[in-house]
Amino acid sequence: MAIQEIGCCGAYCKTCRTSSTGSACRGCNLGYENGERDINKAKCRIKLCCFRDRGLQTCADCSDYTSCEIIYTYFDKSGTKYKKYKQAIEYIGANGYDAYLKIADQWAGPYGKLP
- Give the pLDDT of residue 36: 84
Per cent of the chain over pLDDT 90 is 63
> Which stretches in the chain have pLDDT values below 70?
1, 17-27, 29
- For residue 18, what is the DSSP state? H
pLDDT tens per residue across span 81-105: 999 999 999 999 999 999 999 999 9
Residues in the chain, how many?
Answer: 115
Q: What is the reported pTM? A: 0.86
State residue 12 phi and psi, 5-degree precision: -95, 105
